[in-house]
Amino acid sequence: MSTITEAVNLVENKLKILLENYNFLKEENDLLYSKLTALENTMIKKSQLFDELEKKYQALKIAKTIEGSKEDTRETKLKINALIREIDACINQLSE
Protein backbone atom coordinates (compact mmCIF):
# COMPACT_ATOMS: atom_id res chain seq x y z
CA MET A 1 0.00 0.00 0.00
CA SER A 2 2.73 2.41 0.91
CA THR A 3 4.40 1.91 -2.47
CA ILE A 4 1.21 2.84 -4.27
CA THR A 5 0.76 5.89 -2.04
CA GLU A 6 4.35 6.96 -2.70
CA ALA A 7 3.86 6.52 -6.43
CA VAL A 8 0.66 8.57 -6.35
CA ASN A 9 2.39 11.31 -4.32
CA LEU A 10 5.30 11.29 -6.75
CA VAL A 11 2.92 11.61 -9.72
CA GLU A 12 1.03 14.41 -7.94
CA ASN A 13 4.27 16.29 -7.22
CA LYS A 14 5.46 15.91 -10.79
CA LEU A 15 2.05 17.03 -12.05
CA LYS A 16 2.19 20.13 -9.84
CA ILE A 17 5.67 20.95 -11.13
CA LEU A 18 4.51 20.37 -14.68
CA LEU A 19 1.49 22.68 -14.20
CA GLU A 20 3.69 25.37 -12.63
CA ASN A 21 6.10 25.15 -15.55
CA TYR A 22 3.18 25.26 -17.99
CA ASN A 23 1.71 28.37 -16.35
CA PHE A 24 5.12 30.07 -16.24
CA LEU A 25 5.78 29.31 -19.89
CA LYS A 26 2.28 30.42 -20.89
CA GLU A 27 2.75 33.78 -19.12
CA GLU A 28 6.19 34.17 -20.69
CA ASN A 29 4.76 33.33 -24.12
CA ASP A 30 1.99 35.93 -23.68
CA LEU A 31 4.57 38.50 -22.63
CA LEU A 32 6.74 37.70 -25.64
CA TYR A 33 3.76 37.96 -27.99
CA SER A 34 2.88 41.36 -26.58
CA LYS A 35 6.50 42.50 -26.98
CA LEU A 36 6.48 41.16 -30.54
CA THR A 37 3.32 43.09 -31.33
CA ALA A 38 4.79 46.27 -29.85
CA LEU A 39 7.99 45.81 -31.85
CA GLU A 40 6.04 45.15 -35.05
CA ASN A 41 4.04 48.35 -34.49
CA THR A 42 7.25 50.26 -33.85
CA MET A 43 8.76 48.81 -37.02
CA ILE A 44 5.71 49.83 -39.05
CA LYS A 45 5.90 53.38 -37.67
CA LYS A 46 9.63 53.56 -38.40
CA SER A 47 9.04 52.25 -41.91
CA GLN A 48 6.35 54.86 -42.52
CA LEU A 49 8.64 57.58 -41.16
CA PHE A 50 11.43 56.33 -43.41
CA ASP A 51 9.14 56.41 -46.45
CA GLU A 52 8.00 59.93 -45.58
CA LEU A 53 11.58 61.12 -45.12
CA GLU A 54 12.58 59.42 -48.37
CA LYS A 55 9.83 61.30 -50.23
CA LYS A 56 10.91 64.57 -48.63
CA TYR A 57 14.49 63.85 -49.58
CA GLN A 58 13.50 63.15 -53.19
CA ALA A 59 11.44 66.36 -53.29
CA LEU A 60 14.37 68.32 -51.90
CA LYS A 61 16.70 66.67 -54.39
CA ILE A 62 14.37 67.60 -57.26
CA ALA A 63 14.10 71.15 -55.94
CA LYS A 64 17.87 71.42 -55.79
CA THR A 65 18.28 70.07 -59.31
CA ILE A 66 15.62 72.42 -60.66
CA GLU A 67 17.34 75.22 -58.80
CA GLY A 68 20.16 74.66 -61.22
CA SER A 69 23.21 73.64 -59.27
CA LYS A 70 26.12 73.17 -61.65
CA GLU A 71 26.90 69.63 -60.51
CA ASP A 72 23.45 68.32 -61.33
CA THR A 73 22.80 69.96 -64.70
CA ARG A 74 22.29 66.65 -66.48
CA GLU A 75 19.95 65.37 -63.78
CA THR A 76 18.05 68.66 -63.89
CA LYS A 77 17.53 68.33 -67.63
CA LEU A 78 16.34 64.74 -67.22
CA LYS A 79 13.86 65.76 -64.53
CA ILE A 80 12.53 68.63 -66.64
CA ASN A 81 12.16 66.31 -69.65
CA ALA A 82 10.32 63.77 -67.51
CA LEU A 83 7.97 66.49 -66.24
CA ILE A 84 7.35 67.68 -69.80
CA ARG A 85 6.53 64.12 -70.90
CA GLU A 86 4.07 63.79 -68.02
CA ILE A 87 2.42 67.08 -68.95
CA ASP A 88 2.21 66.02 -72.61
CA ALA A 89 0.62 62.72 -71.58
CA CYS A 90 -1.95 64.57 -69.47
CA ILE A 91 -2.75 66.94 -72.34
CA ASN A 92 -3.19 63.99 -74.70
CA GLN A 93 -5.56 62.29 -72.28
CA LEU A 94 -7.58 65.48 -71.87
CA SER A 95 -7.83 66.02 -75.63
CA GLU A 96 -9.17 62.49 -76.27
Measure the CA–CA gap between 54 and 22, rounded to whole angstroms.
47
Structural domain boundaries in the chain:
2-95
Task: Output the pTM of the full model.
Answer: 0.53
Nearest by Cα to 65 from 86, 81, 49 = 81
Measure the CA–CA gap between 37 and 33, rounded to whole angstroms.
6
Stated as kind and residue range, the H or E segment containing 35 is helix 2-67
Residue by residue, pLDDT tens for the chain (96 residues) are: 688 888 899 999 999 999 999 999 999 999 999 999 999 999 999 999 999 999 999 888 777 766 666 666 777 778 788 889 999 999 988 887
